[in-house]
Amino acid sequence: MGTVKRPGDYAVNLIHYEDAAALTLQVLLGAGSDGGKGYRGEVFLATDGNPVTLQGMMDAYASGGACSSNVEFVGTGGAATSKALDNRKTRRLLGEAWEPKYPSCADFLASGSKDWFTTCGLF
């Protein structure tokens, strides 16, 4: 497909839109909060908890059949500037009320990329 002027070892943090929506709903409902009172003043981090490198993401897309894997990343220094986000607080506060349906980008792609958008019949 071409050359990308980004470091292939740069890691990004992802979350599927269905998982982000489900997390938001549980927070708004106050799921897991003390007496269901809600979470005034709390900050929630929405991520699947599985950071992936740009190269890893492209490999997952290729193995899932979404594209070919002939992408060359030519940038440097990705690992040094990457951020791995930690959503343990979000999971602890929500408890069993929220767990990602798609644990990672690779899992979603390996499952055939079937979600509401691809199966609703509108598109």
Q: Where are the domains of the chain?
A: 2-119
Q: Please give the sequence-ordered ranges of beta strands (E in DSSP) within 2-75, or none if there are none.
A: 2-4, 11-12, 52-53, 71-73
Task: List, for the chain, all residue ranges whose pLDDT scores fall below the cut of 70.
Answer: 1, 66, 68-69
For domain 2-119, say whether CATH 3.90.25.10 is its number: yes
For residue 71, what pLDDT is reported? 84
CA atoms within 13 A on the CB side of 12: 12
Confidence (pTM): 0.83
